[in-house]
Amino acid sequence: MDQNFIKEMETKLKEQQKNLRNDLAGFAEKNVHKKDDYNTKFPNYGSKDEENAVEVADFQDNLSLESDLEKNLAKVDKALERIKQGAYGKCERCGKKIDPERLQAFPAATTCLNCKNLT
């Protein structure tokens, strides 16, 4: 695969990694023992009943947001890892080249469209 293209994707991926980490750090505590693992903090708005109710609702929302963001972050981390290994742009299931257009749209893709549709 073209080195310039890989460089470009690497830049995009690092940008995404940074943004995802920033988003997560906004409401979650970083796990110091595990890379890119975060734990949603329980919010504290006050001690009134309605404040407690909002805390619980926001906590639930943040938990599902945390899991979405962590999944994306894990994909980005994996793609960056594959760049290091020189395996970037190859489908991890069938080993064929991933369409560069797919990578442009979704730099963290590690499978080709065919394989993605199989899962």
Nearest Cα residue to 111 out of 7, 103, 84: 103
Nearest Cα residue to 15 out of 91, 107, 100: 107
Q: Which segment (38-46, 53-61, 62-70, 92-100) binds Zn ion by CB under 5 A?
A: 92-100
What is the rounded CA–CA span in Å between residue 31 and residue 84? 24
3/117 with CB nearer Zn ion? 117
Residues 50-89: x/- map of binding to Zn ion (CB under 5 A)?
Answer: ----------------------------------------
Of the candidate residues 28, 69, 80, 112, the single one contacting Zn ion (CB under 5 A): 112
* Residue 91 binds Zn ion, judged by CB under 5 A: yes
What is the rounded CA–CA span in Å between residue 36 and residue 19? 12
7/97 with CB nearer Zn ion? 97
Task: List residues binding Zn ion (CB under 5 A).
Answer: 91, 93-94, 112, 115
